[in-house]
Amino acid sequence: MHDFQKLLVWQKAMDITEDVYRLSALFPKEEKYGLTSQIRRCAVSVPSNIAEGAGRNTDGEFKNFLGIASGSSNELLTQLILSKRLELVNDNQVQPIIKDLIEVQKINYSLIRKFSK
């Protein structure tokens, strides 16, 4: 069992989740049940799966949940890019979040590799 709150990847994923909530608050009201809801759910999914995996009994189980978090981070990246393409946000608003998300993906991938040995 790992203390998820001490994991850098979880801390950074939580920061991104906060940023995504603030960013998606700028979306039009008609997106409330569409992109706003979806982007928030997958943002929350990243640190949630890291935390759930950290609480599992084996490193193999932890690795599996890190893989799920990786998938959610790719989904989030897609939705951030879509938000920009739809001009719901501008590049200055979304690019820092994308940069941070790519960093989280790299850290997460390193953890997955660590547990693959």
Distance from the Cα of residue 18 to its chain's centroid: 10
Residue 37 above 70 pLDDT?
yes
pLDDT tens-place string over residues 55-82: 998 989 999 999 999 999 999 999 999 9
Task: Please give the domain boundaries of the chain with CATH numbers for all domains.
Answer: 4-116 (1.20.1440.60)
Which spans in the chain are helix H? 8-24, 35-54, 59-85, 91-116
pLDDT tens-place string over residues 85-116: 999 999 999 999 999 999 999 999 999 999 88
Tell if the pTM clears 0.85, that is, is over it: yes
- Work out the angle between the directed axes of helices 8-24 and 91-116 (0-180°, nearest 10): 150
For residue 1, name the pLDDT band (cuts at 50, 70, 90): low
Tell me the C-alpha distance between 66 and 72, whole Å: 10
Q: Which residue has the tokens 């709150």?
A: 5
The larger pLDDT score, comparing residue 3 to residue 19, is at: 19
